[in-house]
Amino acid sequence: APPGRARKLATLAAARPRGAHQPIVLGLAARSAGLGPEDAAHCVLYETVSGPATAAVRLLSLDPFDATAVLARLAPEIDATAQRAVSDAHRAVRDGPGALPAMSAPLLDITAEAHAAWPVRLFAS
């Protein structure tokens, strides 16, 4: 990453020693890597669908090729969603965050908090 971009990551890390929200980190990491908005959106979307697919293979003993085939079939929807995300982001820059299709995803936050308190883990590394 060019020095200015790396400096932005270092500034964020210094300002948030306990970490920042994933969308902020992912956006800044994508920008630091020189990715444009659509490539960044594709990264987020791939992470969003590949994580659960991998978990399904591990937890349910599904065939990894079947899971990968499902991901491949999702490609047109991922492309369309990435384009919409970029369009929505441009609209939010122009009109403010109220123009975004959703201001938050509270159930994701609630579920993540509940999961963090589980006494057992589904995966051990």
DSSP string, 77-111: HHHHHHHHHHHHHHHHHHH-GGGSS-S--HHHHHH
- Global confidence as pTM: 0.75
Asked if the model's pLDDT at residue 94 lies above 80, the reply is yes
pLDDT confidence of residue 71: 96
Q: Which CA distances in Å does 99 have to 6, 87, 103?
A: 30, 11, 9
Report residue 103's pLDDT band, with 50, 70 and 90 as the boundaries: low
Contact 83, 90 (CB under 8 A): no
Asked if the model's pLDDT at residue 1 lies above 70, the reply is no
Q: What is the 3-state secondary structure (H, E, C) of 47-60?
A: HHHHHHHHHHHHHH
What six digits make up the tokens of 5? 């971009």
Q: pLDDT, tens digit, for every residue of 21-69?
A: 888 888 888 988 899 999 999 999 999 999 999 999 999 999 999 999 9
pLDDT confidence of residue 125: 60
Long-range own/partner contacts, residues 91-99 (CB < 8 A, 24 or more apart) = none
Asked if the model's pLDDT at residue 87 lies above 90, the reply is yes
Q: Which residue has the higher pLDDT, 44 or 17?
A: 44
On average, the pLDDT of the chain sits at 88
The DSSP call for residue 36 is -
Parse the chain into domains and list their residue ranges: 1-35, 36-84
pLDDT confidence of residue 58: 92
Which one, of 26, 28, 59, lies nearest residue 45 by Cα?
Answer: 26
